[in-house]
A and B are shown apart, each in its own frame.
Chain A
Amino acid sequence: MSTAPATVDGPLITADGIPLKESLQKSLRRSKIRAVLLVAPPLLFLIFLFIIPIGNMLTRSVDDKLINEVFPNTFEAFEAWDKVSEPSEEMFAAVYQDLKAASKTEIGKSSVRMNYAKPGWRSLIKVTARKIKKMEPPYKEAFLKAEGRWADTEFWLSLGIMKDKRTMGYYLNAVDRTYDFDKNVIHVDENRKVYNLLWWRTIQVSIIVTLACLLLAYPVSYLLATLPMRIANLLMICVLMPFWTSLLVRIVAWMIMLQQNGVVNDTLVAAGILSDENRLAMMYNFNGTVIVMTQILLPFMILPIFSVMKTIPPSYMKAAQNLGATPTLAFIRVYMPQTIPGIGAGCILVFIVAIGYYITPELVGGKDGRLIGNMVAYHMQRSLNWGLAAAMGTILLIVILVLYWIYDKIIGIDNMKMG
């Protein structure tokens, strides 16, 4: 690609006698090192607080190594079994070997994993492991004496679900499916279906909240952008005050307002609009979640739209009207299209925050206002099923990436303005 004129003899030399190429490279390298050093802190920050944890989450969602490492003999004996006849002495001997060799912690951790495949494994392994020291061959007899449930072939069959070091089980669980004992994907029992409903509801709430925020934020932003500075500043403080207020304080304030015996219901009843029995249920349900989330996320919509509106010169509207457009037409055809980058940024921002929300639904969601984020928190903190939490987190991540991609295709990410 060299367009430099060809030289007569050898490379170009700089004033101090070093070939130009080398000198250039040297200064380039220096500035490169400086650039890397400048970027290093945020880069390390990203790697340690973002990329590694996400990678870790992705691995956890498919990892099934532990159980295969703790019970190698058992799985070998399981593979040799015809899955029809009664479990043989060799199979019990294999479990014995594995339990004997494993540490207490390993047994504890794997029994938890086995319990996901079939409820009951946990206590079965625990009780057996406690008696393992005193056991003598024949092991089949000894095991059955320790715990009668070893005769239940379902426990043995369920090993088939866990025999691989990678599993899609957590992802299946996250969408109300599971493996049968032959590792075919099947639906879970009708009365245990939880997650699909929650996924659907999460998306529903996020869309409603985003639209509600947009509807409320647009006129507010317009006012902020067009009113005289003094009043606009005052309004801006009104927008930002709740933004700076503690989340919990705002949620509790809404509870006081909206609950069955709350301010709104009391006022309506006192005014005779509602009868005492027909008080509105606005809290501890779907409505509560939507109302409170809309209020909390509103600033995320107002600020980007406002910042975009601020840059639109008022002269455009005047010009449009000068050319014969009615004020409405001018607004729709000239003003609104220019605010799209702000709308896009606000919508994406609100939607992404909403889809992973869990504090608000936890407090005001009641029975039908809880979202998938609550399940992730539940599995992280309570049930300790981190594999399932990781799978749900990964699915959320994918949903967001897909949305981002669609947004880029339709509106173009370069068009987005965060302010």
Chain B
Amino acid sequence: MKITLKQTLLASVVAVTTAAQAEVNVVSWGGAYTASQQKAYQETYKDPDSINFINYNGGLGEVRTQVESGNVTWDIVDVLPSEARVGCDEGLFEELDRSAFKPAADGTSMDDDIMVEVPNDCVVPQIFWSYVPFYQEGTFSGAQPTTIADFFNVKKFPGKRGIHTWPNALIEMALLADGVAIKDVYKVMSTDAGIDRAFEMLDKIKDHSVFWSSGAKPLELVQSGEVAMSLAYNGRIGAAVLSEGAKFVTVWDGQVLEEEWLVMVKGAPNRDEAMDFLIHASTPESQAGQAKFINYGPMRASAFEIMKAGEPWFHNGKNIMEHMPNRPEVMARSVIANPDWWADYGDSISERYTAWMGQ
């Protein structure tokens, strides 16, 4: 008995250490999002056990600490558009050989297959996600909110509003609600008067606002009736509707689309294995596969074709296209966030927004 226990312990220690050696650490946002990556990328990978997912809360603080201290333990990180740029500029990410990635079925190279301009050589396509308003069926009697202006109109649609504690997307939405054309949003935002205009619009909902900072919160707020309408990440709303049968209605107007990229940390301990996994995760098939489990839009155009042809594509037999943030019908009424603008003005706008929140 004693010997068997010892042997088991020894065996498990050996197993743990060997597993730790070969493991590629992939850092992502957790929840349904990480689950979709695990299903679409990890489970289809040739060696699923070599991939280890870790949760984080965003930001490059940890990555910078690891790179600067020379003690890198993360291999791959799932990052937001501004971080994808800043991190690459600062040398926190590896620049990757673009020719190694798999082209689309018609031979289009990966970079040309991506629906937006590729900002640098560090990034590997992930998804599009968006900030979008939603409410619960039955919240409003009579006319229902259909535009972004309705979100800012508490007279027509009374009740509290859930908004996030940082200014991204809110400035764009406020201007859209105030009648600025989609193509002019960043032009207007680049002037002081434009920013003032956005804040005047935000003032209209300020006293009716509940602020959230974690992605699950807006769903709770709307579900519990704490707020009548809230902004949220489109994937969270879709997951609740598609998988849990929640009665949420998304207002597909004036959403702000954001990119999401995968990057490799500079000096990643398992460089080759990580690269291999990145190549696998970025194929059109993997990208489309992820949409089986979450309604974030693949970045590669060819992945979209696979999904369209395969409807009903969602894993439980529901149609997914109507929940995609970057489907053609809603793209016409969407702002594609401009991370370079935010990299320039984000700090000063954040200060002003924080001041505005606290006043």
CB contacts (< 8 Å) of A362 on chain B: these are 213
C-alpha gap A390/B175 in the complex (Å): 35
- Is A194 a contact partner of B58 (Cβ separation < 8 A)? no
CB contacts (< 8 Å) of A194 on chain B: these are 351, 354-355, 358
C-alpha gap A386/B62 in the complex (Å): 12
The residue on A at minimum CB distance from B57 is A381
- Is B90 a contact partner of A109 (Cβ separation < 8 A)? yes
Query: A383's contact among B88, B340, B346, B358, by CB below 8 Å, is which?
Result: B346
CB contacts (< 8 Å) of A375 on chain B: these are 354
- Is B344 a contact partner of A119 (Cβ separation < 8 A)? yes
- Is B340 a contact partner of A123 (Cβ separation < 8 A)? yes
Which of A122, A193, A201, A362 has the most B CB atoms < 10 Å from its CB?
A122
C-alpha gap A321/B86 in the complex (Å): 72
CB contacts (< 8 Å) of B350 on chain A: these are 383
State how many residues of chain B have any CB contact under 8 Å with chain A: 39
Whether A368 touches B355, Cβ cut-off 8 Å, given contacts A112-B86, A362-B213, is no
In this assembly, does B352 line the interface, its C-beta being within 8 Å of a C-beta of chain A? yes
User: A280 CB to closest chain B CB, in angstroms?
Assistant: 13
CB contacts (< 8 Å) of B166 on chain A: these are 382
CB contacts (< 8 Å) of A115 on chain B: these are 343-344, 347
C-alpha gap A201/B214 in the complex (Å): 23
In this assembly, does A306 line the interface, its C-beta being within 8 Å of a C-beta of chain B? no
- Is B344 a contact partner of A123 (Cβ separation < 8 A)? yes
CB contacts (< 8 Å) of B60 on chain A: these are 381, 384
Return the CB mask of A101-127 against B: 1 if under 8 Å, else 0.
Answer: 001110111011001100111110010
C-alpha gap A339/B179 in the complex (Å): 65
C-alpha gap A126/B347 in the complex (Å): 17
In this assembly, does B348 line the interface, its C-beta being within 8 Å of a C-beta of chain A? yes
Chain A interface size, as a band, is 35 or more
- Is A367 a contact partner of B348 (Cβ separation < 8 A)? no
Return the CB mask of B216-257 against A: 1 if under 8 Å, else 0.
Answer: 000000001110000000000000000000000000000000
CB contacts (< 8 Å) of B90 on chain A: these are 105, 108-109, 112
Question: Of residues 354 to 405 in A, which have CB atoms within 8 Å of B's CB atoms?
Answer: 362-363, 366-368, 370, 375, 380-386
- Is B351 a contact partner of A367 (Cβ separation < 8 A)? no
In this assembly, does B102 line the interface, its C-beta being within 8 Å of a C-beta of chain A? no
In this assembly, does A259 line the interface, its C-beta being within 8 Å of a C-beta of chain B? yes
The residue on A at minimum CB distance from B348 is A119
Which of B209, B341, B343 has the most A CB atoms < 10 Å from its CB?
B343
User: B60 CB to closest chain A CB, in angstroms?
Assistant: 6
C-alpha gap A154/B86 in the complex (Å): 24
In this assembly, does A261 line the interface, its C-beta being within 8 Å of a C-beta of chain B? yes
User: A310 CB to closest chain B CB, in angstroms?
Assistant: 42
- Is A119 a contact partner of B347 (Cβ separation < 8 A)? yes
Question: Of residues 254 to 297 in B, which have CB atoms within 8 Å of A's CB atoms?
Answer: none
- Is A261 a contact partner of B347 (Cβ separation < 8 A)? no
Return the CB mask of B48-63 against A: 1 if under 8 Å, else 0.
Answer: 0000000001111110
CB contacts (< 8 Å) of B343 on chain A: these are 115, 122-123
19 more A-B contacts (CB under 8 A) besides A108-B91, A126-B89, A380-B61? Answer: A105-B89, A115-B344, A115-B347, A119-B348, A123-B341, A123-B343, A188-B351, A191-B199, A191-B356, A192-B351, A193-B355, A197-B355, A201-B358, A366-B210, A367-B165, A368-B357, A370-B165, A384-B59, A384-B60
A-B contact pairs, 5 of them (CB 8 A): A123-B341, A194-B351, A363-B214, A382-B166, A384-B61
Q: Which residues of A contact B (CB under 8 A)?
A: 103-105, 107-109, 111-112, 115-116, 119-123, 126, 188-189, 191-194, 197-198, 201, 259-261, 284, 362-363, 366-368, 370, 375, 380-386
Q: Which 4 A-B pairs have the closest CB atoms?
A: A108-B89, A105-B91, A381-B59, A381-B61
